[in-house]
């Protein structure tokens, strides 16, 4: 690896570190859901609001990110984002109420644009032959954050013991969910300090008319003799920097240009397909999902460690293959694998039964209060053929609060399910996601969008993806208790199949091509009829 590649790698690694903060936020909250619900007395929709608040916040941030990063530059925008992550982590840890916790997490959502901005920055500084690997580092950082968070949550739950919600620290009882969320503070501070050390994107500097500064940065990324030719190519692609003088309305109108239409279609389809398969429901609610198989609270936290490990392994595999095999084959294989895995989960929940037999009732005598046990006697020996029917019966006999509080132990006592199939299905889906549409979406965004519209287009794609992710997170607890796990996984599987058909049709191969070559590949010539995308 030469000095220029090492430099690009270092800058990309620093920017991609923001993905680790995102991963921590996503997975740390998954461990807090039961504790927060109990402490604040939350309904399903209120719990969804806590978990989904960042997803809602990012929708507002994305509307401003494009103009801000075009006006201030990529680096200054990253500094604002890293500051928001730090502020949100501290405020979430100290939140005294449900409302303040939602507000603190909403603030963190304003920083979630780090994912789209990181891919934009890395795509602009990376050499073409390793751009896929460097952009995919964003995903590696995310899964490292996920894995670390699952390990932190599991360790804290193990230290607590089943049913406990606080740890004694310096003579004071501290709610465990506060310790979980507080684990994000130090990494957020570190990222803020690291971002101070990176240069501005040379492509943004050229677009802003700062050619001398751009040449200085580019001289750190490529041999001096190549700088002049690269500057000429970038200026030609970007219209010699003329877009910087355009109004916001003018840049939005650029999105309708027929020469960028193909790139826009690819971006929009990918932005829909990735979140609609339900990955955020699994990542943000992992212990809750595993509890539905009857493994119990402690074991469900333990199984999340498998998700973290598999995510990391297959993201590394994707990183190794993306510039060798290409984007398109990985996407197709990954989506086929995802659909099969999700359908396995749906089938397992569809054939599950729930019965509180005499043995189960005897065991519950030591895990639930006497008054709850007495109320459950009316359900003894009754068999329910869906999780929804069983949960509704519990609510009818012991009340909503008790049913929510003791859901894990009651499902564990009653369920008969092929739990290994569910585990294999979920782990298989996570592996497929991180091999394909997880990291590759951001790579595709960074590659197919021409320089002169990427400040608007990439945040727009991210907005659409984030909007779908928000609704997935917001309504998952409600869906789980009103539609059932079988129907939820069935929907995700059907969505994945639809995505397979669409991306199999329209996604071109872009490996080993410069951003300017990809722009030419996707552009519509004056003599060319508009139709199916050209293949690489």
Confidence of residue 336 (pLDDT cuts 50, 70, 90): very high
Do 496 and 277 form a contact (C-beta atoms < 8 A)? yes
Q: What is the pLDDT of residue 13?
A: 92
- For the chain, the domains span 3-198+246-349+421-522, 353-416
Question: Looking at residues 315-338, what average pLDDT do you find?
Answer: 89
Do 408 and 291 form a contact (C-beta atoms < 8 A)? yes
Q: What is the pLDDT of residue 93?
A: 93
Angle (nearest 5°) at CA 491 between 489 and 493: 70
Measured distance CA(268)–CA(444) in Å, rounded: 11
Tokens of 22: 């995102």
SS3 356: strand
Measured distance CA(294)–CA(300) in Å, rounded: 9
Tracing tokens 């677009």 back to the chain, one arrives at: 207
Mean pLDDT of the chain: 85
Please give the sequence-ordered ranges of beta strands (E in DSSP) within 387-509, or none if there are none: 415-416
Question: Looking at residues 332-355, what average pLDDT do you find?
Answer: 95
Q: What is the pLDDT of residue 383?
A: 93
Question: Parallel, antiparallel, or unpaired for β 353-355 and 415-416?
Answer: antiparallel
Confidence of residue 468 (pLDDT cuts 50, 70, 90): very high
Confidence of residue 128 (pLDDT cuts 50, 70, 90): confident
Q: What is the pLDDT of residue 163?
A: 56
Q: What is the pLDDT of residue 337?
A: 96
Question: Looking at residues 383-406, what average pLDDT do you find?
Answer: 89
Q: What is the pLDDT of residue 246?
A: 56
Tokens of 319: 């990183």
Quick: pLDDT tens for 301-324.
Answer: 888 888 889 988 998 898 888 888
Q: What is the pLDDT of residue 242?
A: 47
Do 157 and 31 form a contact (C-beta atoms < 8 A)? yes
Tokens of 76: 């200054």
Question: Looking at residues 101-107, what average pLDDT do you find?
Answer: 95
Q: Mean pLDDT lowest for which of 84-93, 167-176, 450-459, 474-483?
A: 167-176
**pLDDT over threshold 50, residue 494:** yes
Measured distance CA(198)–CA(7) in Å, rounded: 10
Q: Mean pLDDT lowest for which of 17-31, 422-436, 443-457?
A: 443-457
CATH architecture, range 3-198+246-349+421-522: Up-down Bundle (1.20)
**pLDDT over threshold 50, residue 530:** no
Confidence of residue 462 (pLDDT cuts 50, 70, 90): confident
Measured distance CA(516)–CA(239) in Å, rounded: 12
Question: Parallel, antiparallel, or unpaired for β 172-175 and 415-416?
Answer: unpaired
Confidence of residue 433 (pLDDT cuts 50, 70, 90): very high
Partnered with residue 384 across adjacent β-strands are: 354
Question: Looking at residues 394-411, what average pLDDT do you find?
Answer: 87
**pLDDT over threshold 80, residue 328:** yes
Task: Give me the percent of the chain exceeding a pLDDT of 70.
Answer: 90
Tracing tokens 């009340």 back to the chain, one arrives at: 399
Q: What is the pLDDT of residue 198?
A: 94
Q: Mean pLDDT lowest for which of 70-79, 237-246, 524-533?
A: 524-533
Confidence of residue 169 (pLDDT cuts 50, 70, 90): low
**pLDDT over threshold 70, residue 472:** yes
**pLDDT over threshold 90, residue 105:** yes
């Amino acid at each position: 690896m030469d000095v220029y590649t090492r430099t690009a790698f270092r800058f990309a690694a620093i920017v991609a570190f923001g993905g680790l903060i995102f991963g921590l936020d996503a997975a740390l909250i998954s461990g807090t859901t039961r504790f927060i619900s109990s402490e604040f007395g939350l309904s399903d929709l209120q719990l969804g609001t806590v978990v989904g608040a960042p997803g809602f916040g990012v929708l507002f941030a994305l509307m401003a990110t494009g103009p801000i990063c075009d006006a201030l530059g990529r680096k200054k925008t990253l500094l604002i984002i890293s500051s928001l992550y730090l502020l949100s982590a501290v405020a979430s840890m100290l939140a005294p109420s449900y409302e303040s916790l939602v507000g603190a997490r909403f603030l963190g959502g304003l920083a979630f644009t780090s994912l789209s901005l990181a891919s934009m920055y890395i795509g602009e500084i990376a050499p073409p032959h390793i751009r896929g690997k460097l952009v995919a580092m964003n995903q590696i950082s995310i899964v490292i954050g996920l894995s670390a968070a699952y390990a932190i949550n599991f360790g804290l739950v193990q230290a607590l013991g089943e049913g406990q919600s606080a740890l004694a620290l310096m003579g004071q009882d501290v709610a465990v969910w506060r310790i979980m969320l507080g684990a994000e503070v130090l990494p957020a501070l570190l990222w803020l300090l690291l971002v101070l050390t990176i240069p501005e994107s040379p492509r943004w500097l050229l677009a802003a008319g700062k050619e001398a500064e751009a040449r200085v940065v580019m001289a750190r990324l490529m041999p001096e003799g190549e700088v002049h030719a690269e500057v000429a190519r970038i200026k030609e692609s970007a219209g010699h920097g003329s877009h910087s003088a355009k109004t916001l309305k003018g840049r939005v109108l650029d999105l309708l240009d027929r020469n960028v239409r193909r790139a826009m279609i690819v971006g929009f389809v990918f932005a829909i397909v990735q979140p609609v398969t339900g990955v955020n429901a699994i990542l943000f609610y992992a212990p809750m999902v595993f509890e539905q198989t009857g493994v119990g609270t402690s074991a469900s936290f333990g199984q999340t460690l498998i998700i973290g490990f598999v995510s990391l392994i297959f993201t590394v595999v994707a990183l190794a293959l993306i510039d060798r095999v290409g984007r398109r084959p990985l996407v197709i294989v990954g989506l086929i694998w995802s659909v099969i895995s999700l359908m396995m989960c749906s089938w397992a929940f569809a054939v599950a039964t729930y019965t509180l037999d005499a043995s189960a009732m005897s065991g519950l005598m030591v895990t639930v209060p006497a008054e709850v046990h007495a109320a459950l006697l009316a359900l003894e020996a009754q068999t329910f053929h869906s999780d929804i029917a069983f949960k509704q019966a519990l609510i009818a006999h012991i009340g909503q609060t008790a049913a929510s509080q003791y859901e894990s132990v009651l499902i564990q006592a009653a369920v008969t399910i092929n739990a290994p199939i569910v585990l294999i299905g979920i782990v298989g889906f996570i592996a497929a996601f991180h091999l394909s549409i997880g990291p590759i979406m951001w790579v595709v965004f960074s590659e197919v969008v021409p320089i002169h519209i990427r400040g608007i287009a990439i945040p727009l794609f991210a907005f659409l993806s984030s909007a779908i992710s928000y609704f997935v997170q917001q309504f998952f607890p409600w869906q789980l208790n009103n539609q059932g796990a079988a129907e939820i996984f069935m929907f995700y599987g059907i969505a994945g199949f639809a995505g397979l058909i669409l991306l199999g049709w329209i996604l071109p191969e872009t490996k080993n091509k410069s951003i300017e070559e990809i722009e030419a590949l996707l552009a519509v010539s004056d003599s060319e009829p508009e139709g199916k995308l050209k293949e690489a």
